[in-house]
């Protein structure tokens, strides 16, 4: 009576969501202060003040019809120009509004691009492990083939030998996500340059462009001296998927964009096909108030001091206990090596101490666990004994 | 290099959008006051005051994290309860939050349901002409078969003989839209009851439920003594798709819901498959601020006096000239019979008088034209001579 794929997708909660629900149950049983929930990547720092200020101002100053009416499908002109100007000021580029397509957040950006590049049922999108599990669901549920390259442990850059072996004439795009969910790793310039070289060669060999889809919701979340290379400057056939969910702490509002640089091979067709992918998926326009608001806040950056403090606190304490983890330079995730070598079993050990860590198998990296440190810093302090106890239990030193 | 269907969908602007762009061009050439643009169904009355008031209040009173964070995929519990309570108060039903799934507007509602009910590539969704042209694109681009029953001219109810002949074992659902875009007609209780009877028989014959998808963005826009039957009260296998775009004048914000009554055959599977359809299409959650706002405004109704005044004005003047049209009881459209019998050619005649009417062929009703009267009433007054001149020109009485 119903589509079995949709039924599966709608019935099966993600492991992350299961853990989160378990945490709420445990909090009710033994007190919220005794549960250490690192499961969800929900921003814990508020939006910059100017976000709400602008949203309110726009509603007060403009007519209801102007604020809440349809925008064109591609997005408001002024908003797209403001975003292009900001990108140009930062990256020395010369984008125009015609390069930008406003979307209902990262998932909408990705699906619109996946549908655009899925020429037929043999078209393949490759990801690099570890990766956000919804990639696979988004590609497969929209008619494409999904593949992935195993993780390059422990640096979490790219295993180019394995990637090279996987690229075929059916490969339409390689999706990268740096700063990375779940590893927190930022790709180096060297990694991006090598990827560009490889895809240039492979595109020539197979006679069609192989695009990079650069999924960048965490672009603004980097710490210390780390920087995020601007991928289109390394490889012209890069399509950028962006979301304001993490950078402006607006995940519930569903606002982001796709950037298709004019330098892309087949620019007009790619841009129009992205628009078609959005239309086919029911994205009439991105939410209008949030378009105007992010346009007004195009140069706003998050105050990430709180995340950075959490990161230092957690990394310091875990190192002292004996944990090892991926280089924690971006996003708000720490990717922890299981002391037993198996993420799933250690997640269960940790749960006994009311410590909720997401096992890495969902991200195709079985020996690790993800801790989302977008949490209250006090929770981190309270959680250290649990981290210690779980470690000792798992390593048999309890 | 790109998907040809997506490229087509993204490259080809709709006829409505073309007309609208033409109107803007003509306005620049000969003055906005001399162009009579009836092309777009964009609400012209502002949102009820409490909409913006509540949106601002929610942003002021609650933390940024609480307002802008992810809600669960199905939508906020309190919001869904508020909407269920309002429906129950109006229709004598007993819905709960578990019957509601919040969406990013009507298109998201429809696509989620279409994907849920498209079991395989033979699954068919039937519409009743005249209908919103995106239905066809939404069904076909998501793997289903689309069919439609010709319009029942001039009453614009349902031609049951033709519908009966079209229903097959592959028919998964019949989509209805009352009050109707483009005809402005409201289905009578008799029509809904006959449809229920027919689908009950056909479901029994084919051994599976044939659902009604009741697309109701115009539910609150009815005039005079007309009433809109509550379809689930007539037929248990009714899935309601709703949007606040027209009722609260929020088309740009993308907020609506799907209602799956518990009485539906296979309720749990249908509800979960709708959730899966939304997930597969990239709808992570409906925009959170607008969820909370429509929850707070669950009992708000639009002040449709302005539309009603426009309706009376336009109907009166056009009747006097000699035009005939569908019974104009709902939505904000007048569906005008072409004086020449052909909508497309009369649309061109009207354009010569700077009068923009959408030809009915896009709605699968060639001999009619749609006039969206969600416009400034003064424009209607100024447009009457153009209506008269076009009529006289077309009928050879100029």
Per-residue pLDDT reduced to its tens digit, B26-50: 989 999 999 999 998 889 999 999 9
CATH number 3.40.640.10 given to A69-296:
yes
Rounded average pLDDT over A282-295: 97
Q: What is the pLDDT of residue A21?
A: 82
Q: What percent of chain A has pLDDT over 70?
A: 99
pLDDT bin (cut points 50, 70, 90) of residue B17 is confident
Q: Report pLDDT for B396.
A: 86
How far apart are alpha carbons B324 and A19 in whole angstroms?
62
Tell if the CB–CB gap between B10 and A142 is shorter than 8 Å: no
Q: Which residues of chain B lie closer than 8 angstroms to A46, CB-CB?
A: 63-65
Q: Are A76 and A295 in contact (CB under 8 A)?
A: yes
Bridge partners, A213 (sequence order): A175, A239
| Nearest chain B residue to A374, by CA | B65
Topology alike, domains A4-48+303-395 and A69-296: no
Question: pLDDT tens digits, residue range A34-76?
Answer: 999 999 888 999 999 999 999 999 999 999 999 999 999 999 9
CB A111 within 8 A of CB B282: yes
Indicate the SS3 state at residue A66.
helix
| Per-residue pLDDT reduced to its tens digit, A303-345 | 999 999 999 999 999 999 999 999 999 999 999 999 999 999 9
Touching check for A276 and chain B: CB below 8 Å?
yes
Flag the least confident range among A99-113, B1-15, B56-70, B381-395.
B1-15
> Could you tell me if B121 lies within 8 Å of chain A, comparing CB atoms?
no
Structure pTM? Answer: 0.96
Cβ distance A3 to B115 less than 8 Å, yes or no, reads: yes
Q: Which of residues 43-102 of A touch B (CB under 8 A)?
A: 43-44, 46-47, 51-52, 55-56, 59-60, 63-65, 67-71
Question: Does A226 contact B at CB distance below 8 Å?
Answer: no
CA–chain centroid gap for A16, Å, is 15
> Cβ atoms within 10 A of the Cβ of B3, count?
27
CATH C-level class of B4-48+303-395:
alpha beta
- Mean pLDDT value across chain B: 96
Contact A270 B2 (CB under 8 A): yes
Between the alpha carbon of residue A75 and those of residues A72, A98, B372, the distances in Å are: 5, 10, 23
Q: Tell me whether the omega of the peptide bond preceding residue A211 falls within 30 degrees of 0, making it cis.
A: no
DSSP collapsed to 3 states, chain B: CCCHHHHHHHHCCCHHHHHHHHHHHHHHHHCHHHCEECCCCCCCCCCCHHHHHHHHHHHHHCCHHHHHCCCCCCCCHHHHHHHHHHHHHHHCCCCCHHHEEEECHHHHHHHHHHHHHCCCCCCEEEEECCCCCHHHHHHHCCCCEEEEECCECCCCECCHHHHHHHCCCCEEEEEECCCCCCCCCCCCHHHHHHHHHHHHHHHHHHCCCCEEEEECCCCCCECCCCCCCCHHHCCCCEEEEEECCCCCCCHHHCCEEEECCCCCCCHHHHHHHHHHHHHHCCCCCCCHHHHHHHHHCCCCCCCCHHHHHHHHHHHHHHHHHCCCECCCCECCEEEEECCCCCHHHHHHHHHHCCEECEEHHHHCCCCEEEEECCCCHHHHHHHHHHHHHHHHHHHCCC
Chain B nearest CA to A252, separation (Å): 4
What CATH number does the domain located at B70-296 have? 3.40.640.10
Q: Tell whether the model's pLDDT for residue B13 goes beyond 90.
A: no
pLDDT value for A19: 87
Does any CB of chain A come closer than 8 Å to the CB of residue B356? no
Interface of B with A in 290-319 (CB under 8 A): 290-291
Q: Which chain A residues touch B258 with a CB distance below 8 Å?
A: none
Closest CA to B353 of B18, B36, B62, B27: B36
CB contacts, 8 Å: B62 with chain A: none
Who wins on pLDDT, B14 or A22?
Answer: A22
Where residue B392 falls among pLDDT bands split at 50, 70, 90?
very high
State the pLDDT at residue A259. 98
| pLDDT at B83 exceeding the cut of 60 | yes
Please list the residues that pair with A176 across neighbouring strands.
A214
pLDDT for residue A14:
78
**Hey, are the CB atoms on B3 and A289 less than 8 Å from each other?**
no
What is the pLDDT confidence band of residue A398, given thresholds at 50, 70 and 90? low
Chain B residues 9-38 within an 8 A CB cutoff of chain A:
9-11
Q: 3-state DSSP call for residue A306?
A: helix
Q: Which residue of A has its CA nearest to B169?
A: A1
Q: What is the pLDDT of residue A41?
A: 87
pLDDT score of A300 more than 90: yes
Q: How confident is the model at residue B398 (pLDDT cuts 50, 70, 90)?
A: low
DSSP code of residue A33: G
pLDDT, tens digit, for every residue of B221-238?
999 999 999 999 999 999
Contact across the interface for B2 and A269, Cβ inside 8 Å: yes
- What is the residue extent of each domain of chain B? 4-48+303-395, 70-296
């Amino acid at each position: 009576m119903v589509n079995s794929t949709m039924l599966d997708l709608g019935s099966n909660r993600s492991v992350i969501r299961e853990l989160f629900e378990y945490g709420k149950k445990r909090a009710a049983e033994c007190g919220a202060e005794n549960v250490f929930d690192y499961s969800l990547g929900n921003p814990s720092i508020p939006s910059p003040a100017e976000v709400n200020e602008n949203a309110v101002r726009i509603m007060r100053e403009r007519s209801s019809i102007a604020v809440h009416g349809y925008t064109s499908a591609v997005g408001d002109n002024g908003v797209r120009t403001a975003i292009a100007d900001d990108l140009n000021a930062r990256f020395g580029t010369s984008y125009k509004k015609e390069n930008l397509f406003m979307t209902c957040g990262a998932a909408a950006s990705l699906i619109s691009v996946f549908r655009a590049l899925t020429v037929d049922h043999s078209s393949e999108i490759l990801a690099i492990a570890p990766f956000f599990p919804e990639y696979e669901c988004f590609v497969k549920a929209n008619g494409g083939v999904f593949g992935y390259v195993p993780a390059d442990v422990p640096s979490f850059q790219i295993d180019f030998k394995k990637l090279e072996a996987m690229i075929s004439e059916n490969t339409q795009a390689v999706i990268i996500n740096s700063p990375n969910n779940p590893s927190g790793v930022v790709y180096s310039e060297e990694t991006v340059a090598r990827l560009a070289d490889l895809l240039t060669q492979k595109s020539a060999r197979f006679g069609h462009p192989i695009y990079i889809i650069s999924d960048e919701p965490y672009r603004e979340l980097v710490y210390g001296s780390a920087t995020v290379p601007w991928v289109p400057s390394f490889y012209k056939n890069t399509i950028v998927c962006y979301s304001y969910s993490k950078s402006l702490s607006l995940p519930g509002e569903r606002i982001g964009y796709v950037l298709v640089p004019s330098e892309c091979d087949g620019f007009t067709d790619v841009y129009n096909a992205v628009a078609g992918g959005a239309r086919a998926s029911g994205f009439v326009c991105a939410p209008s108030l949030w378009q105007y608001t992010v346009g007004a806040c195009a140069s706003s950056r998050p105050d990430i001091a709180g995340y950075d403090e959490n990161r230092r606190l957690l990394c310091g304490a875990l190192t002292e206990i004996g944990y090892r983890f991926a280089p924690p330079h971006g996003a708000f995730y720490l990717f922890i090596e299981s002391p037993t070598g198996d993420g799933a079993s250690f997640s269960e050990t940790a749960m006994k101490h009311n410590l909720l860590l997401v096992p890495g198998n969902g991200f195709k990296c079985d020996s690790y666990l993800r801790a989302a440190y977008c949490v209250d810093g006090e929770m981190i302090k309270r959680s250290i004994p649990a981290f210690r106890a779980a470690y000792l239990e798992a390593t048999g030193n309890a």
